[in-house]
Structure 1
Amino acid sequence: MKLFRSLILSGALLALACCAKSGPQEIATGKDQCDNCKMTITEAKYATQLTTEKGRNYKFDDISCLQSYETSNPDKATNATSYVADFPSGQFIDLKTATLITGGTIKSPMGGNTQAFKDKAAAQKAAEELGANIVQ
């Protein structure tokens, strides 16, 4: 009977693990490290993530670290999805749908000096206020 219970419990846990959500994971600021530069992620609003085809997540402290990682690790970046934090809300959004602004008075952790926005109008307003340029 114990063996049967163990098998049922193991099967249930395996089923739950298979149904785990792929995509961006929560950033533990002050604990998670950037997978590119190995610095501790301290500002969640600049954080990014790369999720591979197999569901492995890589976390970064700046958009520039994500871009460097993608360039130096094409095997992991191919068919992966990149996520950026929407600067106003901190929620992760797909990089492909984000509006990016750069330059001006923006100061990000690794000097990429880029912010991501879900809403293009909010990005335009922030760009005007910060003296930044829209790049995507």
Structure 2
Amino acid sequence: MKRLSYILILFLSISCTTKEADPIKLNSDGCDFCKMKIADGKFGAELITTKGRIYKFDDIHCMINYHKENLTTNIQSFYIHDFNQNNVLIPAENAFYVKGGEISSPMRGNIIAVKTEEEAKKIALKYNANPISWSEIIK
């Protein structure tokens, strides 16, 4: 019986802290860094702590700045809006990024994230931007 109790407690603690991305409510949710309303479904971002707390941002720039100011916060995952699908969050470490050029994001992070490398190459040409990796962004 004791063993079953430990297993149940372990299962409940894991299920309560593991979370997936929570869709951002555009024009309703506020950015946890700059406090502006999140209005653009192409540039938003989200991070989830190991305790299950979700922080939402209107630009990847805000998420990165928040993370740098809160290095003791244990992060479970980062999500970023897919530029090609309005208000769809994708895992940040799996996305492909382009930066600079003629890209103009809400807080001037000027980074676009997409699901595939092919999409990133097309966007880089269109916006005269350069590829950048997640590891370069997060450092």
Q: TM-score, normalised by structure 2?
A: 0.80
Q: Does 1:25 align with 2:22?
A: yes
What percentage of residue pairs aligned between the two structures are identical?
A: 37
Alignment-derived partner of residue 97 in structure 2: 100
Alignment-derived partner of residue 55 in structure 1: 52
The Cα of 1:55 is off from its aligned counterpart by 1.1
Task: Give yes or no for contact 1:23–1:57 (8 Å, CA) kept in 2.
Answer: no
Task: Give yes or no for contact 1:30–1:41 (8 Å, CA) kept in 2.
Answer: yes
Give me the whole-angstrom Cα distance separating, in 2, the residues matched to 1:112 and 1:44.
15
> Which among 108, 121, 135 is matched to residue 118 of structure 2?
121
Alignment-derived partner of residue 5 in structure 1: none
> Which among 71, 75, 84 is matched to residue 72 of structure 2?
75
Task: Give yes or no for contact 1:36–1:66 (8 Å, CA) kept in 2.
Answer: yes
Count of residue pairs brought into register by the alignment: 119
TM-align CA RMSD: 1.7
In 2 relative to 1, CA 124–24 (structure 1 residues): closer, same or farther, beyond 3 Å?
A: same
Task: Give yes or no for contact 1:104–1:132 (8 Å, CA) kept in 2.
Answer: yes
In 2 relative to 1, CA 115–79 (structure 1 residues): closer, same or farther, beyond 3 Å?
A: same
Give me the whole-angstrom Cα distance separating, in 2, the residues matched to 1:26 and 1:70.
20
Alignment-derived partner of residue 88 in structure 1: 84
Moved over 6 A (4+): none
Structure 1 unaligned blocks of 5 or more: 1-14
Secondary structure at the counterpart of residue 81 of structure 1: strand
Structure 2 unaligned blocks of 5 or more: 1-11, 134-139
Q: Max radius of gyration: which structure?
A: 1
Q: Does 1:39 align with 2:36?
A: yes
Secondary structure at the counterpart of residue 126 of structure 1: helix
Q: Which amino acid aligns with 1:82?
A: F
The Cα of 1:79 is off from its aligned counterpart by 3.6
Q: TM-score, normalised by structure 1?
A: 0.82
